[in-house]
Structures are given as structure tokens and as C-alpha cells.
A and B are shown apart, each in its own frame.
Chain A
Amino acid sequence: MRKTCIDMVHALAKRDERVVFIGSDLSPGLLAEMKQEFPDRHYMEGVAEANFVGMAAGMAMDGLIPYINTIATFLTRRCYEQVAVDLCLHNLPVRLIANGGGLVYAPLGPTHVAIEDLAIMRALPNMTVVAPADAEEMRRFMEISLDWPGPIYIRLGKGGDPIVTREADGFEIGKAYHLREANGGRFGPVLIVSTGVMTGRALSAAEELAGDGIACDVLHLPTIKPLDGSALQRLAAKARLLVTVEEGTVVGGLGSAVVELLAERLEGGLPPVRRLGVPDVFLHDYGDQDWLMERCGLQPHQIAKTIADAVNVLAAA
């Protein structure tokens, strides 16, 4: 997914002379071919996130479309004021490509593990937040990213994630994709809402639950903001249980966004809820992404068990 995204910046630069790449002290040779082809539109800047966000803002004010890239925690925590004021207040078309969204940088510890990036980016007016599920969806998103009028936060997965999205769906910012339909089952439909690479795990969990007679809809939200309210409301209206799954803190992220939207409906429509994600703690552990997911209960068998337990409680009520 990461390689696809970065390579797409070069592809977009070939198509449109407004496209600029700015990295912050990333891997040597990153986008070397773009640098060779467009040396005046490839910038590798220092470890100075506040500056490179402001610099991108200045370029965008004069008509350019900068794609800027660094590690997710540094792109969000370090320069939050520049993102808020320089990019969002001015509503500028800058694309923030965030390496290692979620738990990808598990072995590097809590300074590098991005647990609240979705939450704090979502809180900013004018910001659009996307987290594709796989490399193919990332490519489809990048194809249409050029002319979106405001800033976009783009969360990258680790790479090598299984392809779970469908080419035929295309990509539309702000649209949810109904990747699995609930069918039959011993309990009314469970609606699983997920984003990013968690959608693959949510689909696996749904498959496991089908064997247990629990039918799940899986709604994939590659855009966390703006939220596809109509798709959510349509599926939530018939759901007996709503489960949100995200690779990040449960405070303010996807689960919060979904529940806030549904809870505001005067006609009702918010079923019982389980929000799955990182609990409100820093994760003082290492290993790898899969291990931290396991610790947070985010692997498919754990998601399935949480849902089955909730279903059993609801069925007995």
C-alpha cells in the first residue's frame, strides 16, 4: 500500500505539473525516479515537520498540490498547529501521506505507534481523512485525489495487506462500501463498520461468525471524514448489534464518529454498540503489528468472539 501510494505521486506528477512531493528525512532514494524526472518538484527536507507543513501551505496558496510524507505520529502530533492553521484554516489542497498509521511501527514503541491520528485529524474543520484497506484501493483513491479542494490525511498500512476491496466499486471520497451482506443466521444482522486494514480482519471475523450462525454486514469506510451517513443509517436501521473496528484509540476515532452520527438521529436507529480498537492507554509493548492487535483484541478470532459474546447476551435478554 505504501509503495503504491508513493509511486502514484510520481504518476500524478507526470500528469499534472502542479504536483509536488515533499518528504521529511525519509529513506534514501525515495521517489528517485521522480527526482530525476522532475528535480524541481521533488523535495527531501530535514527533520522539521512544522516547517515542511507550512512550506507545503505556501506552495498550495500559489496553486501547487503538494503530497507530503513522513511517519504518521510526526505528521500529526509534532505539527498539529501547522496542520490546523496553515492547511485546514486556509483549506488548502495538501495531501498528508502518513507512514505507519495505527500499530505498524509496533517494534519502535509508543513514540511511533499512531493510535490517535484518525481522531485528531478528524477533529479539524476542512480536513478529509482516508484509510484505504489495501494497495488496490489506495491506487484507486490516489487516482482521484488530485482535484479534491481541501487537505487530505492519508493513512498508510504496512503493506502486503490482502486485497479485500473490489475494483468495480471504484473510489469516491466520502463513500462507504458494503463488502459483505448479512444473510440468514440465528440472530438479526450484526453490522461491522471498519476502516483501513481492519476491514480485512472484519471480513475474516464475519466469515468465522457465519459458521456460528451469526450473519454480519461489513461496511468498509475508507473515508472516516466526511462520513457516509446514508449508508450507515441504512444498515444500522436493521442491525441488532453495531460493532466498529479500528486500528487506533477508541477515543474519538471511527467508532466515535459512527456512534455520534447515529446517536444524533431523532428517529432512533442506534443499536447496541461495541467499539473495538486500542483502549485509552499507551501500548508499552513491542513485537509487531499483529502482536499489538492481538493485545488489543483486534485479530479476526478475537473480533468474532467479542461479537459472539455480545450476541449471546442480547439473545438472552
Chain B
Amino acid sequence: MVADPIALARSPASPPLDQRSLTLRGMVVDALEGGERGHIGSAMSLIEIMRVLYDDVLDVRPEDPGWSGRDRCILSKGHGCLALYVLLADKGFFPVDELATFCRRGSILGGHPEAELVPGVEASTGALGHGLSIGVGMALAARMQGRQGRVFVVMGDGEINEGSVWEAAMCAAKHRLSNLIAVIDYNKIQSAGSTAEILELEPLADKWRAFGFAETECDGHDVTALRAAFEGVPLAADGPSVVICHTVKGKGIGFAEHDPAWHHRSRIDADLIADMHAALEQG
């Protein structure tokens, strides 16, 4: 099934993926050998967002994940965890070899991330709509404790169907949390179909502005555009920011792009993994 034309029309015409983006995607595909399942489309749309955050934006210390002065990054759309795992492994929070254990018995890397198990994971997520409230609490704690660290909360577009997200948004604006940055992976596809069909979010930027957020939008696969967007935060001196990243579900794997069937896949065998690698190479 291919998403509706409206959703396709909103998709970014991104520059070609560079070698780092392809390598990170390849690591995600390799990890699927472990669990033979995963939220592939949801992870692929996130790769550049997480890459730019961890490569260029976040002040974190892989050798000391609990360092109190760090920036916090909560992957609120926990089902996209493969994108987070490959970045955390790449940065040295845990050995890259762990990725091969994804979803296996005894692994630290489950189908949704657990803070208790995985170094660098700030909060256990998977139930949607929790991260922004936790981020509000962290941002207030930073203010109370006189810390400079920022709090980034990465959410999915389907996730923001949850009412709790908008409770948190109102609260963030009330407290003028300029140290809180919401990031939306806006791939326009949720589990059951296009966001336009299941629960229309538009006008999304207007909604966030109405809730008191300063807003910017960018191509969520263009690393230059992402860097520029994140360099600009906070977008307002006295309130929270949101960066709406226009992305493609399944980005990089042609036969999975825009297809809700790839939101989550199970029974992934070696042939399918080979097909995914081949698709990545074809660009």
C-alpha cells in the first residue's frame, strides 16, 4: 500500500543520503537479524534527526552517561529506538556488538528503550505521549538546580495524537521553558495509514504556535538543514521551541518508503535483510 498523494506531496525532496547516513541505516538493518522484527519505517525516518543531534548538537559524555551537566535527549517515540541504538553504539555508550542482540533473550536492547538497561537512554518509552511531560520536568529541574543543559524530546507524528502531549505543551509554555526543544519526526504515516487519513494534524505548525511554542521546520533528511535548525534553538528567549522535521517513513529503503506496512515488520528473514541492504545501496 502506498500512502495517499497528499502525504506524498508533503514529503521532502532531500539531497542524496551521504555515506554516514547509509552506514547508520546499514547498522539498523544488521540489527534486525537479532530480533527478526522491528519498527523499521519509524527508525529510518529518524536517522538524520538522531545523527545530527548526537553528532553536532547534544553535549553528552558517552563515558559518563549520567553526567549532570549533559543535555537530555528523550526519544519519546520509543518504537523508533533502532535509530537511537545505532547512534548510542556509534558514540560509544555501549559496544557496537550489542546491536546484534536486538530483541533477543537477555539483551539490553529491546523493541522499546529502557533507561535502566541502556546507557545513554534518558527515559524508558514506548507508551506514546509521555516524553514531553518528562522533558518539562527535566527542564524545570535544570532551572531549579541552575544547570544550563537543554532538554530535547523527539516525538512521532502519530504520537502527538495523544492528548497528554498537548497537556505538556501548554505546561511548557506556561513555564516559559526556553531550555525545552520538541522535535517532531513528521513522516506523515502512522501505523494504520497516513496521518491525513487517520487523524489530520494540519495545520501542525499553527497548532504548536498556538500552544506557545516558537516553531521552525526543515527537511528532516537534510543534515545541513537540520544543523541549521538546531543551531537556531532556542527559537525564543522566553519559551519552548519545536523543530518540525519533514521526513519519509522508511527513508532509504525504496520499497518501504511511505508504506505503513513497514511501520513495524516481524518475521524478517535473511533474504529480506539482503533486499534492504541492496535497496540502501541503490539509494
Contacts and interface: CB of A to CB of B under 8 A. Distances in A.
Interface of A: 20, 40-41, 43, 45-46, 48, 50-64, 66, 81-82, 85-86, 89-90
Interface in B102-125: 114-116, 122-124
Contact of B171 (A20, A55, A66): A55
A46 B135 contact: no
A252 B142 CA distance: 40
Interface in B140-171: 140-145, 163-164, 167-168, 170-171
Given A55-B171, A86-B130, A40 B136 contact: no
Nearest to B168: A51
A53 B164 CA distance: 11
B164 A50 contact: yes
- Counting chain B CB atoms within 10 Å of each CB, the highest count among A20, A59, A62 belongs to A62
A53 B144 CA distance: 18
Nearest to A79: B164
A48 B171 CA distance: 9
Summarize A's interface: helix, strand, loop or mixed: helix
B142 A54 contact: no
Complex A-B, nearest 7 residue pairs according to Cβ-Cβ distance, in ascending order: A58-B137, A54-B133, A51-B167, A48-B167, A62-B141, A50-B164, A58-B134
Contacts of A59: 137-138, 140-141, 144
B138 A85 contact: no
11 contacts: A43-B140, A46-B170, A46-B174, A51-B133, A55-B133, A55-B136, A59-B144, A61-B123, A61-B137, A62-B137, A89-B116
Interface of B: 68, 114-116, 122-124, 126-127, 129-130, 132-145, 163-164, 167-168, 170-171, 174
Given A59-B140, A61-B122, A61-B134, A54 B145 contact: no
A50 B133 contact: yes
B130 A61 contact: no
Nearest to A60: B137
Which of B127, B133, B163, B164 counts the most chain A CB atoms within 10 A? B133
Contacts, number: 102
Given A46-B171, A62-B138, A85-B127, A41 B144 contact: yes
Contacts of B135: 58
B168 A54 contact: yes
Contacts of B124: 85, 89-90
Given A55-B136, A85-B124, A86-B134, A50 B141 contact: no
A54 B170 contact: no
B134 A57 contact: yes
A45 B163 CA distance: 16
Contacts of A63: 141, 145
Given A45-B171, A82-B130, A82-B164, A51 B144 contact: no
A50 B134 contact: no
B140 A53 contact: no
Contact of A62 (B116, B130, B145, B164): B145
Contact of A55 (B115, B140, B142, B145): B140
B136 A58 contact: yes
A43 to B, nearest CB: 8
Contact of A40 (B115, B127, B143, B164): B143
Given A58-B123, A58-B140, 6 more contacts: A20-B144, A41-B144, A46-B174, A50-B164, A66-B137, A89-B124
Contact of A50 (B129, B138, B144): B129
A90 B116 contact: yes
Nearest to A54: B133
Most chain A beta-carbon contacts within 10 A, residue among B123, B139, B167? B167
A64 B137 CA distance: 10
Contacts of B116: 89-90
Given A90-B115, A90-B124, A55 B137 contact: yes
Nearest to B153: A58
B133 A82 contact: yes
A45 B167 CA distance: 10
A58 B144 contact: no
